[in-house]
Structure 1
Amino acid sequence: MKLAPIALFVYNRPDHARKTLESLVVNSGFTDSLLYVFCDGAKSKKDMESVRLTRELIHSYKLENIIVIENEFNKGLAKSIVDGVNHILQNHDRIIVLEDDCVTSPDFLHFMNVCLSNYELDERIMNVSGYAPPIEMPGDYPYDIYFSYRFSSWGWGTWRRAWKYYSNDPRILETIDSSNSMKKKVDLAGLDLYSMLKRQINGKINSWAVFWAINIIMHDGFSINPVKSRIMNIGHDGSGTHCSPDERYNVQINGQNSEKISFPETVIPDRRIVKAYQAFHTGSSFKKILHVCYHKYGKFVDSFIK
Structure 2
Amino acid sequence: MRSLAPIILFVYNRPDETRRTLDALRKNDLAEQSELIIFSDAPKNSNEVSRVNDVRTLISNISGFKQVTIIEQRYNKGLANSIINGVNEIIKAQNKVIVLEDDLITSRLFLTYMNNCLDFYEENKTIWSISGFTPNLAIPPDYKHDIYLTMRACSWGWATWKDRWINIDWNINNYHQVSQKKYRSKINRCGNDMRWMLSDQKKGYINSWAVRWCYNQLIKEMYTVYPTSSFICNIGMIGEGTHGSFRKEYVTNNINESIPHIENITEDERVVMSFAKCYDMKMYNYVGVILKRIGLYKKVKLIIKSMIYR
TM-score > 0.5 by shorter chain? yes
Structure 2 equivalent of residue 25 of structure 1: 26
Whether the 8 Å contact between 1:229 and 1:252 is mirrored in structure 2 is: no
Name the CA distance, whole Å, in 2 between partners of 1:12 and 1:301. Answer: 23
Deviates more, 1:7-16 or 1:144-153: 144-153
Deviation at 1:257, TM superposition (A): 4.2
Structure 2, unmatched stretches of 5+, are 298-310
Counterpart of 1:94 in structure 2 is 96
Deviation, structure 1 residue 116: 0.6
Which residue of structure 2 lines up, in the alignment, with residue 44 of structure 1? Answer: 45
Cα distance between partner residues in 1 of 2:291 and 2:232: 36
Deviations 1:36-75 (A, max 9, x none): 0000001000100000000100013235510000001100
2:279 alignment partner in structure 1: 281
- Give the corresponding residue for 1:159: 161
Q: Deviations over 1:82-105 (max 9, x none)?
A: 011001110000000000001101
In 2, are the aligned partners of 1:8 and 1:36 still within 8 Å (CA)?
Answer: yes
Listed as ranges, the matches of 1:37-186 within 5 Å are 37-62=38-63, 64-177=66-179, 179-186=180-187
- Runs of 4+ aligned residues of structure 1 deviating over 3 Å after TM superposition are 240-245, 263-266, 298-303
Give, in whole Å, the separation in 2 of the partners of 1:273 and 1:90. Answer: 35
- Give the secondary structure class of the aligned counterpart of 1:60: coil
Q: Please report the RMSD computed on the Cα atoms of aligned residues, expressed in angstroms.
A: 2.5
Alignment correspondent of 1:203? 204
2: CA distance between counterparts of 1:300 and 1:100?
A: 26
AA aligned to 1:12 is N
The 8 Å contact of residues 120 and 262 in structure 2, kept in 1 or not, is answered as no
Distance 1:155 1:301, change over 3 A: closer
How far apart, CA to CA, are the structure 1 residues paired with 2:162 and 2:221? 17
Residue among 269, 274, 277 paired with 2:267: 269
- Distance in 2 (CA, whole Å) between partners of 1:218 and 1:252 is 33
Whole-angstrom CA distance in 1 between matches of 2:187 and 2:251? 25
One-letter amino acid matched to 2:3: K
Deviation string for 1:114-149 (max 9, x for gaps)? 011100001100110111001111111111110011
1:15-41 deviation digits (Å, cap 9, x = unpaired): 000000000011011111111000000
In structure 1, what is the Cα distance between the partners aligned to 2:278 and 2:129? Answer: 20
Q: Given the superposition, is the C-alpha separation of residues 57 and 299 from structure 1 closer, same or farther in structure 2, using an over 3 Å criterion? A: closer
| Contact 1:130/1:226 (8 A) holds in 2 | yes
The whole-number CA distance in structure 2 between the counterparts of 1:243 and 1:80 is: 21
Residues 236 and 247 in structure 1, CA contact (< 8 A), matched pair in contact too? no
Q: Give the Cα–Cα distance (whole angstroms) in 2 for the partners of residues 161 and 147 of structure 1.
A: 20
Contact 2:106–2:231, Cα closer than 8 Å, also in 1: yes
Query: Any conservation in 1 of the 2:191–2:276 contact (CA below 8 Å)?
Result: yes
Q: Distance in 2 between matches of 1:212 and 1:29?
A: 27
Q: Is the 8 A contact 1:166 1:215 kept in 2?
A: yes
The answer as to whether partners of 1:116 and 1:157 remain within 8 angstroms in 2 is: yes
Residue 242 of structure 1 and its aligned partner are, at CA, apart by 5.6
Structure 1: which amino acid aligns with 2:118? L
**Given the two structures, how large is their TM-score scaled by the length of structure 2?**
0.88
Letter in 1 for 2:18: A
Aligned 8 A contact 2:128 2:217 in 1: yes
Q: Deviations over 1:196-250 (max 9, x none)?
A: 0100111111100000000011112110111000110111134x48675435210
Structure 1 contact 127–222 (Cα < 8 Å) conserved: yes
2-side partners of 1:300 and 1:28: how far apart?
44
The answer for the alignment partner of 1:9 in structure 2 is 10
Which letter does structure 1 place at the counterpart of 2:141?
G
Return closer, same or farther for 1:136/1:74 CA change in 2, 3 Å cut-off.
Answer: same
- Classify 1:2/1:281 alpha carbon distance in 2 versus 1 (closer, same or farther; 3 Å): same
Any stretches of 5+ residues in structure 1 without a counterpart? 292-297
1:295 maps to: none
Alignment TM-score, normalising by the size of structure 1 = 0.89
Alpha-carbon contact 1:131-1:152 (below 8 Å) kept: yes
Equivalents in 2 of 1:3, 1:84: separation in Å?
Answer: 19
- Cα–Cα, structure 1 residues 192 and 243, in superposed 2: closer, same or farther, change >3 Å? closer
| Deviation, structure 1 residue 255 | 4.3
Distance in 2, Cα, partners of 1:47 & 1:176 = 38
SS at match of 2:60: helix
Deviations 1:260-293 (A, max 9, x none): x323543x21111100111110043x579x69xx
